[in-house]
Amino acid sequence: MDIATVIGLIGTLGLIGWSMDSAAGIGAFIDPSSVVIVFAGSIMVLLMRSTLPEFINAWAKVLMKTILNKNEDPGELIEQLVSMANISRRDGVIALEGQMGEIKNPFLQTGIGMVVDGTDAETIETKLNNDVELMAHRHAEASGVFKSWKDIAPAMGMIGTLVGLVGMLQNMSDPKAIGPAMAIALLTTLYGALIANVLAGPLAEKLDNYSTNEQNNCALILEGVIEIRKGTMNPRVLEDVLKSRLSPGDREKLSKA
């Protein structure tokens, strides 16, 4: 689980809730009409701008994967690749079949499986590149849903504000009607700002960062698998080549390990 996402979300909502309770009580900031306009309204607009599979994928698959999983350590992937390069160099690529059960990364498993099957390097590269492109496309679609939500929610908040102001102006002669209309006018703006800056914006950035890290890992795996298939590079040289993809701190950490 990506604990930073959970702690950040709970901490932010907790601090905002505490501030609301201290200011006027939580009940003062809850208005059913405002909730319907901003939350339900923005979700419906979001559904309208997306296809149904794209909408469901963003919420049910990619988002949950981002929260519940974290990217693999590229240093560990390099260790795996170098170990398999040594086995391949010593015993032949067919010996890698015995390592398949120890590979947790599905992308690496696919690549090594093709190596064991004797697939040529060019075909392996094409297949894995296609997988990366499809993955990046799925992630971009999911991130686009939340980026759209970030734009839609404040707009729905403004619509709610206008609705509240119209209701207030229509009932200036009735003091009892001014309060509820004013609540809609103010709270819809608040809800829109909360969705955009506490939920949609950070989640979209999280998805983009997750996708970038996963693509970097896939590029590292692809290079290692191709070199294992070719069998022309010494495993120690392969390790140095793959380590060049890491930051200086990660390289030092891997060297010590």
> Which pLDDT does position 150 carry in this prediction?
94
How many CB atoms neighbour CB 238 within 10 A? 20
Render 102-168 in DSSP notation, one character per residue. Answer: G---HHHHHHHHHHHTT--HHHHHHHHHHHHHHHHHHHHHHHHHHHHHHHHHHHHHHHHHHHHHHHH
- Per-residue pLDDT of 116-139, as tens digits, reads 998 999 999 999 999 999 999 988
> Which pLDDT does position 42 carry in this prediction?
94
> Which pLDDT does position 30 carry in this prediction?
87
- Per-residue pLDDT of 78-112, as tens digits, reads 999 999 999 988 888 888 888 888 888 999 999 99
DSSP 101: G
> Which pLDDT does position 69 carry in this prediction?
67
- Per-residue pLDDT of 206-254, as tens digits, reads 889 888 989 999 999 999 999 999 888 888 898 889 888 887 777 777 7
Q: Is the pLDDT of residue 24 over 90?
A: no
Q: Is the pLDDT of residue 62 over 80?
A: no
What does pTM read for this prediction? Answer: 0.81
> Which pLDDT does position 157 carry in this prediction?
92
Q: Is the pLDDT of residue 180 over 70?
A: yes
Rounded CA-CA distance 14/199 in Å is 14
> Which pLDDT does position 66 carry in this prediction?
67
Residues 181 and 167: beta-carbon distance below 8 Å: yes
Average pLDDT, the chain: 87
The dihedral of CA 205, 206, 207, 209: what is its sign? Answer: positive
Q: Is the pLDDT of residue 191 over 90?
A: yes
